[in-house]
Chain A
Amino acid sequence: MKLCIKNGRVLDPASGLDKTACVNIEDGIIKSIGEAETADETIDAAGKLVLPGLIDLHVHFREPGREDQETIAGGCRIAAKSGYTSVVTMPNTNPPIDNQALVKFIKHEAEKSGLLNIFPAAAVSKGMKGEEISEMGELHTAGAVAFTDDGKPVSSSILMRRALEYSRMFDVPIMAHEEDHLLVDSGVINEGKVSASLGLRGIPNAAEEVMIARDVIIAGLSKGRLHVQHISSGGSVEIIRNAKKRGVKVTCETAPHYFSLTDEVVREKLALAKMNPPLRTEDDRIKIIEGLKDGTIDAIATDHAPHLMNEKRQEIEFAPNGIIGLETAVPLMITKLVKENGLSYNEVFAKVTCNPAKIIKIKKGEIKPGYDADIVIIDPEKKVIINDDFVASNCKNTPFMGAELFGSVECTILSGRITYKA
């Protein structure tokens, strides 16, 4: 089976390639980039971007436990529609992913759907209780690519030390959701001007920053690989920039909402703009973009978190944290980073292709002969309107509802097979 993607603007962030060319695929593998070869099927990509299939380091598909919000099969469909070919699922399901059987179950469900590669993250502590480290070796063998108790922090500094030490045997990252619960102190939104005027309890930047500061120091001590999840504050960027300079093995991700929105939107969107960590100020937003530009922030991950509208349609204090993120990711990256802030396509898409691939050590995220033919075709000038029709997720909990953005995913290809076509 031969497939040829013709005349697109081929971008490969890993090598910096940016030229109009044809991508020839044979039996699910990229064969060559250049002149078109004879093929069984051709796709005309003229005027469009041809990129490595996107990789998301942070999604919540709710199976097992909350299949009413999202299933693995459903999540795979949404991811494919959004241009993704690989994702890392978070283990905070019910029960949490802390044993081999569950890791295999998730991989199996994804294989059944045939739409997406799932690389599960497993719990860093048994039962996500924050007490003892999980059986990392067994979990890694079963297919876990990272360990995290995402949804909550590893509050115990000694557990974090042990996890960062022990994980060195397998060279896997510990992904850390950073928040000091005592400083969060039942806060609801960012602590600042908006929380002061709305009388909502605030979550200070410090709640995130003190934990990141702690963990980069522990990472230095233990020599493990730390990956900091969903950073939202300008101070966090600074701490990580510094740690990287000192040679600490640390990487990090931010989410599209942190470079797109500020806490001001809470006034209008209420619970739909509630997530953890919270939307911060314009100053933080600018510093996040600077961190993306200078490479301090390695990856953009969506933290895709489906919640039923019924759950969001209540008082902001009672509503759950989180928004869906897969479907709005490409439009936000193109609109906010490329068009509004002048980053190049390769700079931006490195954060969702080769960089995350490196973090979880998979041979993906590049358009290069010999690599899996995971590819996405994007029309960067086509406008999308984020509305009920556009959002195919079962859950529509997004503060971007109503937004008009640039960048439409036209086609997603997984191992040479089309998994989505607009």
Chain B
Amino acid sequence: MTKNALVLFESMTLKRKDLLDISSLSHDEIIYIFEAAKIFKKVFTETNKKFSFLSGRTVCMLFIEPSTRTRLSFEIAAKRLSADVISVAPSTSSLVKGESLIDTVKTLEAMKTGFIIMRHPVSLAPDFLSRNCEAHVINGGDGNHAHPTQALLDGFSVYERTGSLKGLKVAIVGDIKHSRVARSGIELFTKMGSEVVLCGPPTLLPDDFSLYGIEMTFDLDSILPKLDVVNMLRIQLERQKGSLFPSIREYNKYFSLTKDRLKKCRKDVIVMHPGPINRGIEIDDFVADCENAIIEEQVTNGIAVRMAVFSLLCGKTLEDINKEK
């Protein structure tokens, strides 16, 4: 990068109102988020410092689908940026179903909410929300569609170890069909030049992904030796009832990352999991606690990445972040 380009890059910002999915982000914007996250991570892990970027602004957690981990992560990130945080949870609102979403949005607008973080059980709800409000909307996970901050933190977790995602072989394993983490992950790693391979039983692996030129396999063992990264998805135990797989035992046999399977991997393979883990089902104890696994690191990185997203969405640049750190 030439000096001029670097200066330009330093003062770049995210020219968008919302973060709804990965597909709307450019390669450079993703790198920019990673670089901002790097700074935030250092400050966050080493000091108690709060940044002032969201001071006086309200961040509303609109979690129509309950989630502790993601909500906490956003909340901590927002507070580290001095925001006022309010929560609307399904238990405290009439918003269990979607009928009144448009009315809730109007209410939040009237309260001058700066950011709305939305988690919703159905796909495209944040997209719908963003078209009907002025506030910045950040998708905290919608249906099976997208979970962009999860993909960013996954990507960042690999990026800070390898310096680049280009040319890496990344497997996403498990219930691809019902996973927003998988969909956003596919988009992010593909966009950053990684080679993505999807692995799971045919019932949980939509053929249609091959239309996007993505490699798919039912045979986990065959791909293990080639992988730089393996991202194990959480399996929803209730899927078994829909005949999507015959039993946990059989799922385990073909798709669990066990100690034996880890031995087939490269020594430096990075093992990820978006959490919470079903220990002994998609991943065994040994693997979850081994050195290759960066599952806790992902949690810390989640806060850094979300701080970066907040800051860049409200017009801050790397320069601003560096100045205030």
Q: Which of the residues A188, A199, A316 comes within 8 Å of B183, measured between beta carbons?
A: A199
Query: Per-residue 0/1 for A27-54: is the Cβ within 8 Å of any B Cβ (1 yes, 0 no)?
Result: 0000000000000000000000000000
Determine whether A313 belongs to the interface, using a CB cutoff of 8 Å to chain B: yes
Cα A197 to Cα B99 in complex, Å, equals 25
Cα A314 to Cα B143 in complex, Å, equals 14
Query: Per-residue 0/1 for B90-111: is the Cβ within 8 Å of any A Cβ (1 yes, 0 no)?
Result: 0000000111011000000000
- Closest-by-CB residue of B relative to A192 is B208
In contact, B206 and A196 (Cβ under 8 angstroms): yes
In contact, A316 and B144 (Cβ under 8 angstroms): no
Cα A271 to Cα B101 in complex, Å, equals 14
Q: Collect the chain A residues with CB atoms within 8 Å of residue B146's CB.
A: 199
Cα A271 to Cα B208 in complex, Å, equals 22
Q: Collect the chain B residues with CB atoms within 8 Å of residue A313's CB.
A: 102, 128, 132
Cα A191 to Cα B208 in complex, Å, equals 8
Q: Which of B55-63, B118-126, B275-283 forms part of the interface with chain A? A: B118-126
In contact, B208 and A270 (Cβ under 8 angstroms): no
Q: Which residues of A contact B (CB under 8 A)?
A: 188, 191-193, 195-202, 270-271, 310, 313-318
In contact, A317 and B143 (Cβ under 8 angstroms): yes
Q: DSSP majority for the A interface?
A: loop
> Are A315 and B98 CB-contacts (below 8 A) given A199-B123, A199-B143, A200-B144?
yes
In contact, B98 and A197 (Cβ under 8 angstroms): no
- Closest-by-CB residue of A relative to B206 is A196
> Are A314 and B128 CB-contacts (below 8 A) given A198-B145, A199-B123?
yes
Q: Collect the chain A residues with CB atoms within 8 Å of residue B180's CB.
A: 199
Determine whether B6 belongs to the interface, using a CB cutoff of 8 Å to chain A: no
Cα A151 to Cα B142 in complex, Å, equals 29
Q: Report, nearest first, the 5 A-B pairs whose CB atoms are least far apart.
A: A199-B144, A199-B145, A196-B208, A317-B122, A318-B98
Q: List 7 A-B contacts (CB under 8 A).
A: A195-B208, A196-B211, A199-B180, A199-B183, A200-B124, A315-B101, A315-B120
In contact, A315 and B128 (Cβ under 8 angstroms): yes
Determine whether B35 belongs to the interface, using a CB cutoff of 8 Å to chain A: no
Please report which residues of chain B, range 153-179, place their CB below 8 angstroms from some CB of chain A when the two chains form the complex.
none
Cα A193 to Cα B214 in complex, Å, equals 12
- Closest-by-CB residue of B relative to A197 is B183
What is the total of A-B residue contacts with beta carbons within 8 Å? 69
Q: Which of the residues B99, B211, B212 comes within 8 Å of A314, measured between beta carbons?
A: B99
Chain A nearest CB, measured from B197 CB (Å): 16
In contact, A314 and B183 (Cβ under 8 angstroms): no
Q: Collect the chain A residues with CB atoms within 8 Å of residue B208's CB.
A: 191-193, 195-196, 202
Number of interface residues, chain B, beta carbon within 8 A: 26
Q: Which residues of B contact A (CB under 8 A)?
A: 23, 97-99, 101-102, 120, 122-125, 127-128, 132, 142-146, 180, 183, 206, 208-209, 211-212
- Closest-by-CB residue of A relative to B214 is A196
Q: Which of the residues A196, A197, A270 comes within 8 Å of B127, measured between beta carbons?
A: A270
- Closest-by-CB residue of B relative to A196 is B208
In contact, B123 and A198 (Cβ under 8 angstroms): yes
Most chain A beta carbons < 10 A, residue from B124, B180, B211: B124
> Are A314 and B209 CB-contacts (below 8 A) given A199-B144, A199-B183?
no
Q: Collect the chain B residues with CB atoms within 8 Å of residue A191's CB.
A: 206, 208
Chain A nearest CB, measured from B284 CB (Å): 28
Q: Collect the chain A residues with CB atoms within 8 Å of residue B206's CB.
A: 191, 195-196, 202
Q: Collect the chain B residues with CB atoms within 8 Å of residue A197's CB.
A: 23, 183, 212
In contact, B124 and A316 (Cβ under 8 angstroms): yes
In contact, B124 and A314 (Cβ under 8 angstroms): no
Q: Collect the chain A residues with CB atoms within 8 Å of residue B132's CB.
A: 313
- Closest-by-CB residue of B relative to A313 is B102
In contact, A318 and B123 (Cβ under 8 angstroms): no
Q: Collect the chain A residues with CB atoms within 8 Å of residue B124's CB.
A: 198, 200, 270, 315-316
In contact, B122 and A318 (Cβ under 8 angstroms): yes
Q: Collect the chain A residues with CB atoms within 8 Å of residue B143's CB.
A: 199-200, 317
- Closest-by-CB residue of B relative to A317 is B122
Given A316-B123, A318-B122, 12 new contacts (CB under 8 A)? A192-B211, A195-B208, A199-B144, A199-B146, A200-B145, A202-B208, A270-B128, A315-B101, A315-B124, A316-B128, A317-B123, A318-B97
Q: Collect the chain B residues with CB atoms within 8 Å of residue A200's CB.
A: 123-124, 143-145
Cα A192 to Cα B101 in complex, Å, equals 28
Cα A1 to Cα B67 in complex, Å, equals 73
Q: Collect the chain A residues with CB atoms within 8 Å of residue B123's CB.
A: 188, 198-200, 316-317
